[in-house]
Amino acid sequence: MGVIGASTRQSLGLPGSFRVPTSLPILSSLLPILMRLFLTQASPLDSAYHDETGRTLYRVATPVPLAGRTTFVARVLPHDGRLAGGEEEMPWYTMMTEKEIRDADDRIARYGQSARLSLGPEGGKRYACFGRIDQGEKITIRGVEHPQGRLFTKKGWGYYGRNRILNGPDRREYKWKMDKGGCTLTLVDKSKQCVARYHPVHYDVYGDADAAYLEILPPADVMLDFVLITFVFIEDKRMRRERLLRRGDPSSLSHLLGHFVRSLLAKVFPGP
């Protein structure tokens, strides 16, 4: 991993303690990478997402990280204020500035969820908000609400939670898997092709940190918005489980014991 210069780090919007990794795990380097989105913060729930040129593409914000919180996922508007094909005019987009994102919870409570926030001059960059996650349970994508029980199907077992099966906009079936080192999105077919992989912040022996990043691979190029918002939802679940495991929470220990018993039974009594 190489340390980038201060000017490059500043152009990427990265904190001074973070650096952009210049080398990748062997497996990653063998895959046809479409895009890497680098996070400016350690938490995917409250971070800007940049590509390798330093261009800000997405903004994810959770204004009040408490019970009843709402996470907003937005695309950054170009300087001319327009997305490709005039998508920003679609009714599911809510125009927001950085300041409005920070104040979004109060505005929604005051005017209702369908309110279209005004696009004012303050707050710097402008955003087209296309999705939100309410209380970590319900996802709204382009105006359509998806309770997690309908969007995801739980399948399999793991230390960091059950896998989530979902159908993509391309009508193909995908699986989000949560592990210690992050989460991965793969196709549910014979190929089991990986289409997205998250790498959390990595600290070396000297305490220096490599910025977290999300790899996006084909065929995810036609559904970047969908991949990002479902990633934020899944990684939130994984991080919560990780915190419980670190604290030795009884419910997580019970989950681990159950996982061990099921794995043992599967080996002793393998299915057909």
- Give 240's Cβ-side CA count (13 Å radius): 11
**Cα 70 vs. chain centroid, distance in angstroms?**
14
Q: Residue-wise over 168-193: b if at least 16 C-beta within 10 A, else e?
A: beeeeebbbbbeeebbbbbbbeeeee
Q: What is the dihedral of CA 128, 218, 228, 200, to 10 degrees?
A: -130
Which single residue is written with the structure tokens 């997580």? 252
Which single residue is written with the structure tokens 């912040």? 201
The residues spanned by each domain of the chain are 6-268
CB atoms within 10 A of CB 29: 9
- pTM for this predicted structure: 0.71
pLDDT tens, residue by residue, 145-174 = 888 888 999 988 777 778 999 999 889 999
C-alpha–C-alpha distance, residues 216 and 98, integer Å = 25
Distances (CA, A) of 174 to 56, 73, 85: 27, 21, 28
40 or 208, greater pLDDT: 40
C-alpha–C-alpha distance, residues 247 and 15, integer Å = 28
C-alpha–C-alpha distance, residues 3 and 120, integer Å = 37
Predicted pLDDT of residue 94 = 67
pLDDT tens, residue by residue, 20-74 = 665 544 344 445 567 899 998 888 998 899 988 888 899 998 876 555 678 889 8
pLDDT tens, residue by residue, 137-146 = 789 888 888 8
